[in-house]
């Protein structure tokens, strides 16, 4: 960075810090974790408590990120190594509840959210190991992995002991850990007496309380254009999560290969460009956004029912927007958006 830019950045960060300290109504902080910028907003909290809370939350996020990482050495990679050697292992307490919940949601999703397809995700190069440009994974390896297809049902948990009968089972919690971490962070804020807050991880978020006398207004990214597709107002305790094929992808011969894999085929799920879920807790919203993305325009309603999800918007590969009535009643499209909307039956 050249000296002038460095000066401007320093100046801006000083101004930002000063704003945090002087304005007792609203407090903002940002840091990197889980591969994304985490944005913390606290409302109506005294500055000392806000600073203490944000330091604590950032520390928690760094700890969780390290412990639950799918390929950098930590508690989860250690568990994966042990499962690969078919041992029965004592799970670290920092990952056991997370794994239990991932397995439960996976079974509810009919295995479309599958937290043990780490080998497949790695084969597609999404563990920071990109394939050589212009190439796809080796077909035989892919076929073999799909045939062995590990599922959450292959994992046995007794007390704190975990084992698997499937040697191909490898945890990758990329579709779920961010949501789970946001829930833990909200618990932490509540412990500190904070009632109005929002934790936003690159557009996936959970809010509690209100923004003064008005609700929080949240934009949902357009899957194919820069900017916003729609917005919603949220208040109380609500999470909003979107899974999209634009987050991580590469192209070969004009075809997009993205990071949400259909465990039934071993290939990136087709038919969907994005799915947005509104639900109370973030962990379920995160897992469901991934599961319904894989389910696609024909099966999303069935999987939503099984998972107890009540508000869904799915944009399909032809840009048709599928929603249930409860979602439609709270979504406001941006001016100029003229998509075909297909309304489903109500979700209970």
Q: Which residues bind ligand ADP (CB under 6 A)?
A: 112-115, 117, 121, 126, 172, 174-175, 204, 243, 247, 259-261, 263, 286, 289-290, 294
Q: Are strands 321-323 and 311-316 parallel, antiparallel or unpaired?
A: antiparallel
Smallest gap from Cβ 139 to Mg ion, in A, equals: 27
- Judged by beta carbon distances under 5 to 8 A according to partner kind, the member of ligand ADP, Mg ion, none in contact with residue 111 is none
- The residue nearest ligand ADP at its CB is 174
Q: In the 8-state DSSP scheme, what is residue 225? A: S
- Judged by beta carbon distances under 5 to 8 A according to partner kind, the member of ligand ADP, Mg ion, none in contact with residue 174 is ligand ADP
Token pair belonging to 89: 């292992």
* Vertex 200 angle, CA 199 and 205, to 5°: 85
Applying CB under 5 A, what is the total number of residues that bind Mg ion? 5
Could you give the C-alpha distances from 104 to 79, 109, 115, 156, 295, in angstroms and in order?
A: 18, 9, 10, 12, 18
Q: Which is nearer to Mg ion, 7 or 246 (CB)?
A: 246
**Binder among 109, 290, 311, 324 for Mg ion (CB under 5 A):** 290
Phi, psi for 20 (deg, rounded to 5):
-60, -40
Q: Which is nearer to ligand ADP, 211 or 259 (CB)?
A: 259
- Judged by beta carbon distances under 5 to 8 A according to partner kind, the member of Mg ion, ligand ADP, none in contact with residue 53 is none
Residue 248: name the closest of 8, 34, 16 by CA: 34
Asked if 286 interacts with Mg ion (CB under 5 A), we say: yes
Choose one: 49-57, 168-176, 192-200, 300-308; the region binding Mg ion (CB under 5 A).
Answer: 168-176
Asked if 327 interacts with Mg ion (CB under 5 A), we say: no
Smallest gap from Cβ 345 to ligand ADP, in A, equals: 25
- Given its phi and psi angles, is residue 315 left (phi above 0), alpha (psi -120 to 50 degrees) or beta? beta
Asked if 173 interacts with Mg ion (CB under 5 A), we say: no
Q: Which is nearer to ligand ADP, 128 or 187 (CB)?
A: 128
End-to-end CA distance of the chain: 54
Smallest gap from Cβ 3 to Mg ion, in A, equals: 42
**Beta strand extents in the chain (DSSP E only):** 26-33, 36-43, 89-90, 155-158, 161-164, 197-201, 204-208, 216-221, 228-234, 238-244, 249-252, 255-258, 272-279, 311-316, 321-323, 332-333, 341-343
Q: Which is nearer to ligand ADP, 69 or 322 (CB)?
A: 69
Asked if 272 interacts with Mg ion (CB under 5 A), we say: no
**Binder among 175, 218, 277, 314 for Mg ion (CB under 5 A):** 175
**Binder among 185, 289, 291, 314 for Mg ion (CB under 5 A):** 289
Q: Are strands 89-90 and 272-279 parallel, antiparallel or unpaired?
A: unpaired
Residue 235: name the closest of 280, 268, 202 by CA: 280
Smallest gap from Cβ 304 to ligand ADP, in A, equals: 15
Smallest gap from Cβ 38 to ligand ADP, in A, equals: 13
Residue with tokens 């991932």: 102
Q: In the 8-state DSSP scheme, what is residue 268? A: B
Residues of the shown chain interacting with Mg ion in the complex, contacts defined by CB under 5 A: 175, 243, 286, 289-290
């Amino acid at each position: 960075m050249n000296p002038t830019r460095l000066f401007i950045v320093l100046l801006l960060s000083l101004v930002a810090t000063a704003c945090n300290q002087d304005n007792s109504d609203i407090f903002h902080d940002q840091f990197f974790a889980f591969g994304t910028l985490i944005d913390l907003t606290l409302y109506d909290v005294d500055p000392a408590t806000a600073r203490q809370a944000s330091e604590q939350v950032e520390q928690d996020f760094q700890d969780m990120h390290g412990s639950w990482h799918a390929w950098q050495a930590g508690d989860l990679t250690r568990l994966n190594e042990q499962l690969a050697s078919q041992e029965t292992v004592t799970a670290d307490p920092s990952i056991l509840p997370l794994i239990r919940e991932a397995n439960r949601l996976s079974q509810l999703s009919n295995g479309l959210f599958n937290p043990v397809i780490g080998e497949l995700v790695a084969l597609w190069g999404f563990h920071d190991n990109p394939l050589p440009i212009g190439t796809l994974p080796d077909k035989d390896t892919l076929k073999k992995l799909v045939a062995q297809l590990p599922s959450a049902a292959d994992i046995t948990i007794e007390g704190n002991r975990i084992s698997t009968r499937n040697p191909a089972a490898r945890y990758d919690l990329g579709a779920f850990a961010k949501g789970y971490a946001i829930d833990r962070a909200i618990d932490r804020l509540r412990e500190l007496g904070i009632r109005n807050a929002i934790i936003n991880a690159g557009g996936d978020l959970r809010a509690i309380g209100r923004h003064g006398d008005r609700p929080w207004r949240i934009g949902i990214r357009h899957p194919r254009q820069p900017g916003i597709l729609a917005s919603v107002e949220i208040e109380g305790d609500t999470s909003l999560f979107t899974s999209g094929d634009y987050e991580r992808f590469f192209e070969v011969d004009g075809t997009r290969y993205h990071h949400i894999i259909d465990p039934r085929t071993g290939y990136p799920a087709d038919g969907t460009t994005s799915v947005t879920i509104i639900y109370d807790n973030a962990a379920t919203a995160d897992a469901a956004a991934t599961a319904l993305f894989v389910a696609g325009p024909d099966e999303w309603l069935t999987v939503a029912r099984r998972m107890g999800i009540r508000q869904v918007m799915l944009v399909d590969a032809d840009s048709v927007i599928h929603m249930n009535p409860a979602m439609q009643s709270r979504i406001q499209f941006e001016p100029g958006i003229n998509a075909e909307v297909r309304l489903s039956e109500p979700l209970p």
